[in-house]
Structure 1
């Protein structure tokens, strides 16, 4: 999960998508109500997926693609993030799994499209700053860093989801 080339980023993203597909197969075997259950004070499975929508909205749609306010209303920032006008923060929403998966697929398709045309030169440039309040902050970021943040979040949050599914399965 530390790619250095465009092909490496494409392969790493494909790996995370395959791993998440296995995790989703596992989650679908559970009672849908359990997917909204917090495990040991952590996010529910669906909250984790909502957070991954937020991550993609931030680091791909905002930082790389320069959309000033890309966040879907169901996107979920991390718990300690300060309130920022315009950034969603509905911790009480309990959307169905399929609704959140449709958002995830939309975001994943956007990432696949971005990565399909990614060149080595593009990896090494800094994004122009988005001049609007939000997250990430309105400043420039290396494209490589944005994509590494995305991959890191995908990798680790899937591991958290797997851990929590094991607890839910055990009852």
Structure 2
């Protein structure tokens, strides 16, 4: 899996390109469904829209804050584990629309694309002065580690999204 194996700048570029292509095809498939289906949870897992919101949060947490050192890295649509509705919650279908989430995700994905396009192996070794919120405050995080977390989150949640879309399409 490219995401877990990324070590060099070229690896990160290849992995990010693959992730973008994979997600583009999946989003295209998802948009064939009625929007309300994309807010529907499958087996008490996050809905498709909630999954995209979580990926927005993960990018903000691991890219925006420690790597880019943005003053206000968290988009209000981001959905972290600490603010997710519990399984079976009636509010699983509330929140921003798919288009609103895709607009925010598109912007963050473009930021990642631009970063990896120009990143060098030496850049990947840079220690981040900011720590990802909620992680070990005493640990050192280099850019390579933070970007790999983004890649792995994208790849793993893509698997879940595809699985759940198959269920929504069949249902």
TM-score by length of structure 2 reads 0.87
Match of residue 149 from structure 2 = 149
Which structure dedicates a bigger proportion of its chain to helix? 2
Match of residue 17 from structure 1 = 20
How much does 1:70 deviate? 1.1
Equivalent of residue 51 in structure 1, options 48, 51, 54: 54
Q: Give 1:98-137 correspondences, 5 Å limit.
A: 98-129=99-130, 134-136=133-135
How much does 1:104 deviate? 0.6
Q: What do the CA deviations read for 1:61-98 (whole angstroms, capped 9, x no partner)?
A: 001111254111110002xx3xxxxxxx3744421111
Q: 1:104 to 1:3 in 2, by over 3 A?
A: same
How much does 1:109 deviate? 0.7
Q: What secondary structure, in the 3-state scheme, does the structure 1 residue paired with 2:73 have?
A: coil
Structure 2, gaps ≥5 residues long: 86-90
- Is the contact made by 2:65 and 2:130 (CA closer than 8 Å) also made in structure 1? no
Structure 1, gaps ≥5 residues long: 82-88
- Is the contact made by 1:58 and 1:135 (CA closer than 8 Å) also made in structure 2? no
Tell me, in whole angstroms, the C-alpha distance in 1 between the residues paired with 2:134 and 2:113.
22
Runs of 4+ with deviation above 2 angstroms: 89-94, 133-140
Match of residue 74 from structure 2 = 71
Match of residue 97 from structure 1 = 98
Match of residue 84 from structure 1 = none
The answer to whether 1:40 aligns with 2:24 is no
Root-mean-square deviation (Å):
1.8
Q: What do the CA deviations read for 1:106-164 (whole angstroms, capped 9, x no partner)?
A: 0011101111221111111211135xx94456564111110110000000101100000
Aligned length: 160
The answer to whether 1:163 aligns with 2:166 is no
Tell me, in whole angstroms, the C-alpha distance in 2 between the residues paired with 1:70 and 1:145.
18
